[in-house]
């Protein structure tokens, strides 16, 4: 009988790490050949040289100082502060990100600038007099920023990421991502810029070898205390007696393995776990699980024969062209992510699995992407040394207008199992960052260690803008 953890991403490894800190062993079952989950760092070799990139820009930030302390202990000198420069290209012009309203008003067409101010005034008056409900993402941003400013970068970029109109996206997503932030706060920040302590927007902590280094260190510590991490497993079924999870069956290398379960901490998608229960979940639960969707990604990693391509840590592209949504130059995160005289780019397309781009031949995607990179002026097609495609399923849970009712069907069904803890991003179908996945993992383990269930549901529900606050200072 064991503490069994599904998934070796941030949530699963934090669980194993906390068990290990309390001298408790665990078994981690991971379906991939590598650890790190969505926060993995990929390594590519070309001409004997090594290039690293995270699978999408992954900076660490949190409102919880104890997480910084924990990671500092794990990484020591490898935990460094990186100055952030993030810009967004809108209709051919670069603007700061998060948006600096003063800069935006100065650089857009004067008619658009006037419209932005009038729309914001209109939204403010409506907020005071009518107090309109904020049901959709569109309601939320239009009422906080005014329609024209919302259209400037928020509505179009969000539609690029999600692939559905903003009036079909749940307002709770905006509440989580931009709560407490409005046009007035942004103007205030722009006007009092300069001096002062560094905020989480201006800089962030990052491991020298890429974001996965945090999770490599957690895994190293956990295994040194007896944890076992089994990779490339396929979980077949999870058995239960109606009130507890009793066992798990998985295959590895063609062999079927059965384990008894004392507690199960799962970061696999909640939509998948309910489908492998034995006895089976009722049909309405399976139906709800199948109806919850995800947004997937096609990423393109390009090695370029130039020492530098951009000055940004990462860039957003709310308008089209280009057709991709975001790009990062890993060398601007830490210089040794690429060799000295070359650089690389990770370019991200947001898609649904099965879309034309998802099915496109890798060489064609690389060709198309280089064409757009050339249009942006970062490099010429002839500068490309080699490219790779990374396809990622279930990168983002789709919080559409009715997801919560359907998700409740799953969570209510799973509540009957007193020794099951659903943690992490897809484990909870919660659009969260690494810090919240880590917190759910730590707290699930702590619940088992202390023998009382802590409330995991409120993790990630902070009532402030998600980037608010000052940067944690090292000891
Ligand atoms: C493009 C992108 C950019 C992001 N940028 C940031 C950022 O800047 N900052 C930030 O803090 N967060 C960022 N995030 C979010 C961050 O990646 C996630 O919050 C975090 O990785 C979630 O960790 P997790 O352990 O909950 O889930 P995951 O990372 O998804 O890990 C789950 C693990 O479970 C495994 N698994 C799944 N199914 C099974 C199964 N059936 N059997 C066994 N194993 C299974 C998976 O292979 C994976 O290893 C970003 C996410 C994306 C997609």
315, 87 in Cβ contact below 8 A? Answer: yes
For 331-343, how does the pLDDT look when each residue is reduced to its tens digit (9 = 90+)?
Answer: 999 999 999 999 9
CA of residue 10 to ligand 1 center, whole Å? 7
For 127-163, how does the pLDDT look when each residue is reduced to its tens digit (9 = 90+)?
Answer: 899 889 989 999 999 998 999 999 998 899 999 999 9
Q: Per the domain annotation, does 168 fall within a domain?
A: yes
CA of residue 31 to ligand 1 center, whole Å? 13
In a shared domain, residues 285 and 411 = yes
Choice from 41, 269, 434, 438 to test ligand 1 binding pocket (greatest atom count within 8 A of CB): 434
For 305-332, how does the pLDDT look when each residue is reduced to its tens digit (9 = 90+)?
Answer: 999 999 999 999 999 999 999 999 999 9
CA of residue 111 to ligand 1 center, whole Å? 43
- Report pLDDT for 465: 43
Answer yes or no: is pLDDT of 467 > 60.
Answer: no
- Report pLDDT for 5: 98
140, 160, 191 — which closes off a domain? Answer: 191
CA of residue 395 to ligand 1 center, whole Å? 7
CA of residue 433 to ligand 1 center, whole Å? 9
Q: Which pair of tokens denotes residue 251?
A: 């295959």
Closest residue CA from atom 38 of ligand 1: 268
Closest residue CA from atom 6 of ligand 1: 58
Answer yes or no: is pLDDT of 196 > 50.
Answer: no
If one counts the domains in the chain, the total is 2
**CATH number (domain holding residue 282):** 3.50.50.60
In a shared domain, residues 415 and 444 = yes
* Residue 42 pLDDT level (bands cut at 50, 70, 90): very high
Mean local confidence (pLDDT), 441-456: 94
Nearest by Cα to 466 from 61, 20, 13: 61
User: Which residue, chain included where needed, has tokens 């403010």?
Assistant: 124
Mean local confidence (pLDDT), 446-450: 95
In a shared domain, residues 143 and 16 = no
CA of residue 105 to ligand 1 center, whole Å? 37
Answer yes or no: is pLDDT of 187 > 90.
Answer: no
396, 295 in Cβ contact below 8 A? Answer: yes
Closest ligand 1 atom to residue 392 Cα is 53
- Report pLDDT for 184: 66
Would residue 469 be called left, alpha or beta, if left means φ above 0 and alpha means ψ between -120 and 50 degrees? Answer: left
For 388-438, how does the pLDDT look when each residue is reduced to its tens digit (9 = 90+)?
Answer: 999 999 999 999 999 999 999 999 999 999 999 999 999 999 999 999 999
Answer yes or no: is pLDDT of 200 > 90.
Answer: no
Which residues on neighbouring strands pair with residue 43, listed in sequence order? 52
In a shared domain, residues 25 and 166 = no
Phi, psi torsion values for 255, nearest 5 degrees:
-105, 135
In a shared domain, residues 176 and 214 = no
In a shared domain, residues 105 and 252 = no
Q: Per the domain annotation, does 257 fall within a domain?
A: yes
Q: Per the domain annotation, does 360 fall within a domain?
A: no
Q: Per the domain annotation, does 298 fall within a domain?
A: no
For 213-258, how does the pLDDT look when each residue is reduced to its tens digit (9 = 90+)?
Answer: 999 999 999 999 999 999 999 999 999 999 999 999 999 999 999 9
d(CA 331, CA 302): 13
- Report pLDDT for 425: 97
Which residues on neighbouring strands pair with residue 5, listed in sequence order? 28, 265
CA of residue 392 to ligand 1 center, whole Å? 10
Closest ligand 1 atom to residue 56 Cα is 1
- Per the structure, the complete domain to which residue 263 belongs is given by 2-37+210-292+399-450
Q: Cα dihedral angle (287, 289, 295, 300), rounded to 10 degrees? A: -110
In a shared domain, residues 281 and 411 = yes
Q: Which pair of tokens denotes residue 25?
A: 């062993």
Mean local confidence (pLDDT), 181-186: 66
Q: Per the domain annotation, does 231 fall within a domain?
A: yes
Contact partners, residue 240, CB within 8 Å, separation at least 6: 246, 277, 278, 279, 417
Count other Cβ atoms within 10 Å, centred on residue 412.
Answer: 11
Mean local confidence (pLDDT), 31-52: 98
What would the 3-class secondary structure string for the chain be?
CEEEEECCCHHHHHHHHHHHHCCCCCEEECCCCCCCHHHCEEEEEECCEEEEEECCCCCECCCCHHHHHHHHHHHHHHEEEEECCEEEEECCEEEECCCCHHHHHHHCCHHHHHHHHHHHHHHHHHHHHCCCCCCEHHHHHHHHHCHHHHHHHHHHHHHHHHCCCHHHEEHHHHHHHHCCCCHHHHHHHHHCCCCCCCECCCEEEEECCCCHHHHHHHHHHHHHCCCEEECCEEEEEEEECCCCEEEEEEEECCEEEEEEEEEEEECCCHHHHCCCEECCCCHHHHHHHHHCCEEEEEEEEEEECCCCCCCCCEEECCCCCCCCCEEECHHHCCHHHCCCCCEEEEEEEEECCCCHHHHCCHHHHHHHHHHHHHHHCCCCHHHEEEEEEEEEEEEEECCECCHHHHHHHHHHHHCCCCCEEECCHHHHCCCCCHHHHHHHHHHHHHHHHHCCCCCCCCCCCCCCCCCCCECCCCC
The pTM of the full predicted model, rounded to 2 decimals, is 0.94
Nearest by Cα to 391 from 287, 298, 258: 298
Which residues form the pocket of ligand 1, taking CB atoms under 6 Å from any ligand atom?
6-12, 29-32, 37-39, 56-60, 235, 267-268, 272, 395, 424-427, 432-435, 437
Q: Per the domain annotation, does 197 fall within a domain?
A: no
């Amino acid at each position: 009988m064991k503490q069994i953890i599904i998934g070796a991403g941030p949530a699963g490894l934090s669980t194993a790490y906390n068990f290990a800190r309390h001298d408790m062993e665990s078994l981690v079952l991971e379906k991939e050949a590598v650890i790190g989950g969505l926060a993995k760092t990929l390594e590519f070799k070309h001409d004997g040289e090594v290039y690293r990139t995270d699978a999408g820009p992954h900076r660490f930030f949190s409102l919880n100082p104890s997480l910084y302390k924990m990671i500092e202990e794990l990484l020591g000198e490898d935990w460094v502060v990186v100055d952030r420069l993030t810009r967004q290209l809108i209709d051919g012009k670069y603007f700061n990100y998060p948006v600096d309203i003063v800069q935006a008003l100065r650089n857009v067409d004067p008619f658009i600038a006037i419209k932005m101010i009038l729309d914001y005034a209109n939204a403010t008056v409506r907020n005071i007099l009518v107090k309109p409900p904020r049901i959709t993402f569109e309601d939320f941003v239009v009422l906080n920023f005014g329609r024209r400013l919302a259209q400037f970068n928020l509505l179009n970029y969000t539609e690029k990421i999600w692939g559905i109109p903003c009036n079909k996206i749940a307002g709770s997503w905006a509440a989580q991502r931009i709560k407490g932030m409005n046009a007035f706060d942004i103007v205030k920040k722009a006007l009092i810029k300069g001096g002062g302590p560094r905020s989480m927007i201006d800089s962030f902590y990052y491991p020298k070898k890429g974001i996965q280094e945090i999770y490599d260190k957690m895994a190293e510590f956990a295994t040194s205390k007896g944890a076992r991490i089994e990779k490339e497993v396929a979980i077949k079924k999870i058995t239960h007696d109606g009130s507890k999870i009793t066992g798990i069956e998985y295959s590895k290398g063609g062999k079927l393995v059965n384990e008894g379960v004392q507690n199960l901490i799962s970061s696999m998608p909640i939509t998948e776990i309910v489908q492998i229960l034995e006895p089976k979940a009722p049909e309405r639960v399976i139906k709800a699980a199948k109806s919850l969707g995800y947004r997937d990604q096609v990423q393109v990693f390009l090695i370029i024969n130039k020492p530098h391509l951009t000055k940004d840590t990462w860039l957003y592209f709310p308008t089209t062209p280009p057709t991709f949504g975001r790009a990062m130059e890993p060398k601007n995160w830490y210089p040794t992510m690429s060799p000295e005289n070359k650089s690389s780019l990770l370019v991200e397309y947001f898609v649904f699995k099965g879309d034309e781009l998802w099915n496109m031949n890798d060489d064609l995607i690389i060709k198309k992407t280089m064409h757009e990179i050339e249009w942006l002026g970062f490099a010429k097609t002839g500068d490309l040394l080699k490219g790779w495609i990374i396809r990622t399923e279930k990168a983002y849970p789709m919080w559409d207008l009715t997801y919560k009712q359907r998700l409740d069907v799953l969570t209510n069904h799973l509540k009957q199992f007193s020794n099951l803890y659903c943690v992490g991003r897809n484990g909870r179908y919660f659009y969260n960052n690494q810090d919240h996945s880590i917190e759910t993992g730590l707290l699930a383990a702590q619940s088992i260690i202390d023998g009382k269930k802590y409330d995991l549901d409120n993790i990630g529900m902070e009532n402030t803008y998600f980037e608010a606050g000052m940067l944690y200072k090292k000891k």
